[in-house]
Amino acid sequence: MEDLSKFIRDVPDFPKKGIIFKDITTLLKDEKAFKSAVDIFVKKYKELGIEKVVGVESRGFIFGSAIAYKLGVGFVPARKPGKLPAETLKEEYALEYGSDAVEIHKDAIKKGEKVLVIDDLLATGGTLSATCRLVEKLGGKIVAVACLIELTFLNGVEKLKGYDFYSVIKC
């Protein structure tokens, strides 16, 4: 497959002025590009004994569920607070101004299960690092953390030190 970065659309001033949003819908609508993106992750992780894929809300659900399906393992959603129906664990993380949080069901991961954590994009690393802490609180063993796109200028990978991190596209 050709360079997948060609399938990412930049949307200036979204969701607010000064932000250049990396729109993956242009990749998702192309059957070859979407398949290629999923296949890249599956090929990289298929031999590592992964038992669960945790996808971060919301675009991480798209890649995470497809990867889990292809690996033949379970999928676990990590969501914003108040979105999951059963008992959850919550992990807060700092934003530039304020904080946010992510939750996961308490029964989502068994102690010792090998987990792949995935999202569409790594920016500052707050959401992914909080998700990793939740997985570990449940006793999961994080095999890898992965994203389709990494915004290298934000240096979010620093918050993921100690984890095997991989991104397909670096911007």
Mean pLDDT over 136-158 rounds to: 97
Q: Is 20 a domain residue?
A: no
Q: Which residues partner with 115 through β-bridges?
A: 52, 142
Residue 98: per-residue pLDDT: 76
Q: Is 18 a domain residue?
A: no
Question: Closest Cα to residue 79, out of 91, 95, 66, 65?
Answer: 91
Q: Is 79 a domain residue?
A: yes
Residue 138: per-residue pLDDT: 98
Mean pLDDT over 75-103 rounds to: 93
| % pLDDT > 70, the chain | 99
* Structural domain for 104, as ranges: 48-170
Give residues with Cβ within 8 angstroms of 44, minimum separation 6: 144, 146, 166
Q: Are 17 and 39 in contact (CB under 8 A)?
A: no
CATH of residue 160's domain is 3.40.50.2020
Q: Is 16 a domain residue?
A: no
In this structure, the number of other CB atoms found within 10 A of the CB of residue 80 comes to: 14
- Give the active site residues: 59, 96
Single-letter amino acid code for the residue at 159: K
Q: Is 162 a domain residue?
A: yes
Q: Is 11 a domain residue?
A: no
In the predicted model, is pLDDT for residue 35 greater than 90? yes
Q: Is 158 a domain residue?
A: yes
Residue 1: per-residue pLDDT: 57
Residue 145: per-residue pLDDT: 98
- Residue 43, judged by CB atoms within 10 A of its CB (0-12, 13-18, 19+), counts as exposed
> If you average pLDDT over every residue of the chain, what do you get?
96
In the predicted model, is pLDDT for residue 96 greater than 70? no
In the predicted model, is pLDDT for residue 80 greater than 90? yes
Q: Is 115 a domain residue?
A: yes
Mean pLDDT over 7-24 rounds to: 94
The domain total for the chain is: 1
User: pTM for this structure?
Assistant: 0.95
Mean pLDDT over 64-81 rounds to: 98
Residue 152: per-residue pLDDT: 96
